[in-house]
Amino acid sequence: MTETIVPKKIYFRVWGTLLILLAVTVGVAYIHLGWFNPAAAVGIAGIKALIIILYFMHVRYSPKVLWVFVSAGFVWLGMLFLWTLGDYLTRSYLPPPTIWPQ
């Protein structure tokens, strides 16, 4: 698919970055940061996934139509998360209707 042959040193750089990010993930988990902990965990995982997709999976060197296919799955997953969590996180906002007094 890719006419461009990605030089090996880019692969090694990506691999190095991935291992560093792994260390950061574990390290940050042991520091108490409240709600930022899961955000950081998912965020760093997202960065790892992104560089694997762009470089190891050659998407950076691929036609734009492929970028649409790649993002579609994640965008749709986002929709699933957004509206489902939208339900769970807003359950407490409106109190149940009060019973009309007799």
Partner 1 sequence: MSLIVEHQFDDYEQQQQATTLGMWGFLATEVLFFGGMFLGYTVYRLLYHAPFGEASRHLDVVLGAVNTGVLLCSSLTMALGVHEAQEGNRRMVMLFLAITAALGMIFLGIKFFEYYQKFEEHLIPGPHFMWNGADARHASLFFIFYFVMTGMHALHMVIGIGLMAILVFLTWRGKFSSVYFAPIELGGLYWHFVDIVWVFLFPLLYLVERSR
Partner 2 sequence: MSTQLAIFTREHYLNVSYGWKSWLFTRDHKRIALLFLMTITFFFFLGGAFATMVRLELMTPQGDLFQAQTYNKLFSMHGIVMIFLFLIPSIPAVLGNFLVPIMIGARDLAFPRLNLLSWYLLVIGGVFTLWAIVAGGVDTGWTFYTPYSSLFSNTNVVLAVIGIFISGFSSILTGLNFIVTIHQMRAPGMTWFRLPLFIWSHYATAIIQVLGTPVVAITLLLVAVERVWRVGIFDPALGGDPILFQHLFWFYSHPAVYIMILPGMGVVSELITTHSHKQIFGYTFVAFSSLAIAIIGFAVWGHHMFVAGQSQYASLMFSILSFLVAIPSAIKVFNWTATLYKGSISYSAPMLYALGFIGLFTIGGLTGLFLATTAVDLHVTDTYFVVAHFHYIMVGGMVMAYLGGIHHWWPKISGKMYPEGWARLAALIVFIGFNLTFFPQFVLGYLGMPRRYYAYADEFQVLNVMSTAGASILAVGYVLPMVYLIWSLRYGESASANPWGATGLEWQIPSPPPTENFEETPIVEEPAYNYESYSRASV
Binding positions for partner 2, rule: CB under 8 A? 65, 72-73, 76, 79-80, 83-84, 86-88, 90-91, 93-94
User: How far apart are alpha carbons 79 and 72 in whole angstroms?
Assistant: 11
**Contact (Cβ atoms closer than 8 angstroms) between residue 37 and residue 29:** yes
Q: What angle do CA 74, 34, 82 make, to 5 degrees?
A: 25
Binding site for partner 1 (CB under 8 A): 1-2, 5-6, 8, 11-12, 14-15, 18-19, 22, 25-26, 29-33, 37-38, 41-42, 44-45, 48-49, 52-53, 55-58, 62-63, 65-66, 69-70, 72-74, 76-77, 80-81, 84-85, 88-89
